Copies of this chain bind each other. A is one copy, B any other.
Amino acid sequence: MSNFQKGKVDIVAVAKAAKVSPSTVSRTFNHPNLVSPATRKKINRAVQSLGYIRNRAAQTMHGKRSGTIGLVVPTINHAIFAEVIQAFSDSIDKAGFSLLLASHGYDLDREYAMVRKFLEHRVDGVALVGLEHSEATARLIEQQKIPALAIWNYSEDSVLPCVGADNRLAGRLAAEHLLALGHRDIGLIFPKTTGNDRAQNRLSAVHDALREMGISVPSEHESETPYSVSQAKQAAISLLTERSRPTALLCGNDVIAQGALFAAQSLGLKVPDDLSIIGIGDFKGSADVEPGLTTIRIPAETIGTLAGERFTDYITSENPGPFKICCQLERVVRATTSPVSVR
């Protein structure tokens, strides 16, 4: 239990204490089967008593992996990515990796800066959200030959390996659900789509689906708001107090949908009788609001876990093959949508 730390405790201090060479100490950690049980015991005792902790920085210098993976997300703050981050973190932790996390606030230039920062730390891989990134980021990844992964969005012609869902399909499913219920006056509340291919994919798919039914959304029924319950609530309130009110609201994600729901409630509108609302995502909590939110479920936890597993495999494997995983969406019909009422 005693530790006499005169100066730093490094591998040679341990070696000295155990009366062996540094090489042997190193081997005890990295190839324990190459060292005799007796010396291993001596060394472990020395490690204990000195409180030695391995120095990954020094290991990294030898071409050993750093044991870190960088994840860059648009935002940590909102419910949106919290679940994937958690799952991804747990998943790579199981494989012995640590998570370097950064956010860019939907600014792809900041995303580039974050990736660069991670590269300085010699991360073993970098995971990004979505498939749309700046030219510079792509070049950086290419040049540095750093394993990279795109999560959250899926496309078969992604350049990077990806684990995610088909956001275009998500938009279409949401639209089709409302259409099937007979809604024709549909309001759209989405975030800005620059630097956010998920939102863009969803929105364009929604427009496609509506157009196929010969429906176009009047501009006063289309609103733009950041991913924030309160701002979405405001946006929804002003949309819903226009002269003509849509019978349904299709929201860019569940955060916005919750805002819309609260907006409706604060205006005294009955959901779903007076107004149907559908979100996309099925975030934590969406099941529990009253009434329960109808939404298109994106399996965040599955995506995070799978991404972590496959990516660490990819990184540690000898000759890694690229992979693309499309996680299934699911229409979750709860209580915020109903057939359009006869007027």
Interface residues in chain A, defined as those with a beta carbon under 8 Å from any beta carbon in chain B: 3, 5, 51, 53-58, 60-61, 66-68, 75-79, 82-83, 85-86, 89-90, 93, 98-103, 116-122, 140, 143-144, 228-230, 233, 258-259, 261-262, 265-266, 284-285, 287-290
Are B77 and A284 in contact, with the CB atoms below 8 A? yes
Query: 8 other contacts beyond A57-B66, A100-B100, A289-B289, with CB at 8 A cut-off?
Result: A51-B144, A56-B57, A66-B121, A67-B121, A68-B121, A77-B82, A78-B284, A98-B118
Contacting residues, chain B, for A54 (C-beta < 8 A):
120
Contacting residues, chain B, for A288 (C-beta < 8 A):
229-230, 233, 258-259, 262
In angstroms, Cα B52 to Cα A120, docked, is 10
In angstroms, Cα B116 to Cα A56, docked, is 12
Contacting residues, chain B, for A258 (C-beta < 8 A):
285, 288
In angstroms, Cα B90 to Cα A285, docked, is 26
Cβ contact of A89, chosen from B78, B98, B103, cutoff 8 A: B103
Cβ contact of A98, chosen from B51, B58, B82, B121, cutoff 8 A: B121
A–B pairs, 5, beta carbons within 8 Å = A93-B102, A99-B101, A230-B287, A233-B288, A262-B289
Given contacts A259-B288, A262-B288, contact A102 B122 (CB under 8 A): no
Are A57 and B284 in contact, with the CB atoms below 8 A? no
In angstroms, Cα B3 to Cα A98, docked, is 31
Nearest-neighbor residue (CB-CB) of A265 within chain B: B290
In angstroms, Cα B100 to Cα A253, docked, is 28
Stoichiometry, copies per complex: 2
- Quote the shortest CB–CB distance from A165 to chain B (angstroms): 19
Contacting residues, chain B, for A143 (C-beta < 8 A):
3, 5, 51
Contacting residues, chain B, for A68 (C-beta < 8 A):
100, 121
In angstroms, Cα B101 to Cα A85, docked, is 10
- Quote the shortest CB–CB distance from A109 to chain B (angstroms): 14
Cβ contact of A121, chosen from B56, B119, B120, B287, cutoff 8 A: B56
Contacting residues, chain B, for A266 (C-beta < 8 A):
290
Are A55 and B120 in contact, with the CB atoms below 8 A? yes
- Quote the shortest CB–CB distance from A297 to chain B (angstroms): 15
Contacting residues, chain B, for A77 (C-beta < 8 A):
82-83, 86, 284
- Quote the shortest CB–CB distance from A327 to chain B (angstroms): 18
Are A284 and B56 in contact, with the CB atoms below 8 A? no
- Quote the shortest CB–CB distance from A37 to chain B (angstroms): 24
- Please provide the 9 A-B residue pairs with the shortest distance between their CB atoms, ordered closest to farther: A57-B60, A265-B290, A77-B86, A76-B86, A229-B288, A101-B101, A57-B57, A229-B285, A262-B290
- Quote the shortest CB–CB distance from A154 to chain B (angstroms): 23
Contacting residues, chain B, for A57 (C-beta < 8 A):
56-58, 60-61, 66, 121-122
Given contacts A121-B68, A288-B262, contact A101 B89 (CB under 8 A): yes
Are B76 and A102 in contact, with the CB atoms below 8 A? no
- Quote the shortest CB–CB distance from A148 to chain B (angstroms): 15
- Quote the shortest CB–CB distance from A283 to chain B (angstroms): 10
In angstroms, Cα B56 to Cα A243, docked, is 60
In angstroms, Cα B140 to Cα A196, docked, is 43
Are A90 and B116 in contact, with the CB atoms below 8 A? no
Contacting residues, chain B, for A122 (C-beta < 8 A):
55-57
Cβ contact of A75, chosen from B66, B86, B100, B265, cutoff 8 A: B86
